[in-house]
Amino acid sequence: MGLSAVAPIERLADALSEAAGRIAAVLAVAVVAVVFGLVLARYGFGAGSVAAQEAVLWLHASIFLLGLSYAFKHDAHVRVDVFSQRWSARTRAWVEFGAGLALLLPFCVFMVIISWDYVAASWAADEGSRDPGGLPGWYLLKSLMPLSAALLALQGLAQTLRALRRALAGGAA
């Protein structure tokens, strides 16, 4: 299987990351609206809501978990360029390939494995908020952990394959 045969994997990863990024963007607007409503209710009417406060937590966590693969796709993640700025494009591509293969992908697999039982236990217990008036269905939010790691792994695979293609092409591609 040549590197051109993995193009469908790259397109799928890109499409899923874009979709997750769009969902995160909508959730960012929602979190601002909910926080605005909470502040207005608290200081304007002396009212509060545990469920609304938990909704802010849910939205905030969802934004980050869904935004991981999107940020990685768009190279918006934190990168330390102290060494790599002096490297050739080909060397950078080889390092990106090696780091993806040796660090990112195993980390994502580890995250899926380590969170699986945690999420399954939450589903089995039909876990809800511990606070009176809180949100039910915490297992839904917890399910974003392995999903996020899987999306990041898929995007990481696509980026790692692209790095390999650039490395084999001498840095260009």
Tokens of 69: 């693969």
pTM: 0.91
Query: What pLDDT is attached to residue 171?
Result: 62
Residue 71, both tokens: 């940020």
pLDDT digits (tens, 9 = 90+) for 39-79: 999 999 999 999 999 999 999 999 999 999 999 999 998 77
Per-residue pLDDT tens for 85-119?
Answer: 889 999 999 999 999 999 999 999 999 999 999 99
End-to-end CA distance of the chain: give it in Å, rounded.
19
